[in-house]
Amino acid sequence: MTGTVNSPRPRTRPWYRRTAPLACAAAGFALAGTLALGIPLATSAAVYAAASELTHSPAATGGTTEVLEPSRQGATGRQSTSQRVTQTPATAASASESTGVVLIDTALGYQDAAAAGTGMVLTSDGLVLTNNHVIEGSTEIRVTDPSNGLTYAATVVGTDVKDDVALLQLKDAADLPTVTIDNDNEAVGDAVTAVGNASGGGTLMAADGAITALQSSVTTQAEGTVAGETLHGMIQVSADVVPGDSGGALLDAQGEVVGMTTAASSGTAVTTAYAIPIEKALAIVDQIRAGDETDGVALGYPAFLGVSAAPGVSALPSTTTGALIGGVVDATPAATAGLEAGDTITAVDGRAVTGWTGLSQALAAHKPGDTVTLSWTDQQGVPATATVTLAAGPAA
């Protein structure tokens, strides 16, 4: 089954933190997957990244799932009447359900915002698996382990934006309880429980449900100039999953992890949620740990220049000459170089830049700490050149 995903509107912050793209190693901040505090969810049957609770961000555009009715088609056909009409509300997670599941809080310093989501501890020394959209755009990540009450600073080991997976390392962590990974095959109808930081409330909640389909696909609704994204091979479940649950554990009846909660519908009588199969997520973790930057995997933080695109510029054809700057972030390499809003970056290391995409691609070839030579023209057409050292940007 395939559904079209939309991010819900924030409560004070939205799912898509779509300010103008920032010049990192990518064109800008992709799906943030965080819901803002204080703004209603999107229209009925919207599917959102089930990630974190946020504050202070613009509202996202609307979208609908493929199936708009509370009943949904799965791999084995339409759900029963009882499945369509009723769903068990989430309750406080038990000690066994909470084992290895942690609370993630992020600061998005360049956006004056904060977010919250969930993660799973993979190793006793603090490797944590979560969704990329939970930590995307973050300038600070803090992880709390409810089992010991301690909060740890976390850094990004690596990410896979395409598959929405991120691996974190907790600082000075030791002897942490870890999740137990399932090694059986799942089947439609299997009982499952989604455990996560529901609504960013700082307490782990458990939502009981059942698998309704396997090998499902979910597509994020295109927003503005940003194309939609599709996740394939997902586990589809009927469970009371809400914002803040992203990155959390989908447990089977034995309390073993079968998936990582990633997206869910809203505005329907029954919530349909989607989880990345744990074996797929762990394969990406292994690739990150091996230092293999292929197939969409990136290690650490992206190189960061600190400029944002002028409105509408990121949608211009890639043949457009230069990248028109809409804004410059304070205390960044761009600001140090003297770049200002209205300037147009024309080359990086002597190679012409064709549009905002060209600038992003040029920066993507670099790591934080690399030195590059920028060429630009100001609003009066006066050319300038400066050498800058790229900073470590927010999580990509």
How far is Cα 313 from Cα 25, in angstroms, rounded to an integer? Answer: 17
* Structure tokens belonging to residue 229: 């994204």
Contacts of residue 220, Cβ cutoff 8 Å, sequence gap at least 6: 4, 5, 6, 7, 31, 49, 228, 229, 230
Residue 30, pLDDT score: 23
* Structure tokens belonging to residue 65: 């799932």
Contact criterion met (CB below 8 Å) for 357 and 314:
yes
**Beta bridge pairs of residue 261:** 275
Return the sign of the alpha-carbon dihedral for residues 14, 19, 22, 25. positive
Q: What is the pLDDT along the chain (396 residues), one digit of tens a residue?
A: 544 443 322 222 322 233 334 444 332 222 223 332 222 222 223 455 554 444 332 222 222 222 222 222 222 222 333 334 468 899 999 999 999 999 999 999 888 889 999 999 999 999 999 999 999 999 999 999 999 999 999 999 999 999 999 999 999 999 999 999 999 999 999 999 999 999 999 999 999 999 999 999 987 554 332 334 689 999 999 999 999 999 999 999 999 999 999 998 877 788 999 999 999 999 999 999 999 999 999 999 999 999 988 776 554 555 558 889 999 999 899 999 999 999 999 999 999 998 888 898 899 889 999 999 999 999 999 999 999 999 998 887
Q: Cβ atoms within 10 A of the Cβ of 11, count?
A: 20
Contacts of residue 286, Cβ cutoff 8 Å, sequence gap at least 6: none
Residue-by-residue DSSP string for 170-221: ETT--S---PPBP-SPP-TT-EEEEEE-GGG-SS-EEEEEEEEEEEEEEEEP
Contact criterion met (CB below 8 Å) for 99 and 179:
yes
Q: What is the pLDDT of residues 70-99, one digit of tens each?
A: 222 222 222 333 334 468 899 999 999 999
**Domains of the chain as residue ranges with CATH:** 2-94+179-299 (2.40.10.10), 303-392 (2.30.42.10)
How far is Cα 192 from Cα 207, in angstroms, rounded to an integer? Answer: 8
Residue 294 burial by Cβ neighbours in a 10 Å radius (0-12, 13-18, 19+)? exposed
Residue 318, pLDDT score: 52
Measured in whole angstroms, how far is the alpha carbon of residue 376 from the centre of its chain?
32
Global pTM reads 0.78
Return the sign of the alpha-carbon dihedral for residues 267, 268, 270, 272. negative
Residue tagged 């349909």 (tokens): 272
Residue 110, pLDDT score: 84
Contact criterion met (CB below 8 Å) for 393 and 110:
no
Residue 310, pLDDT score: 76
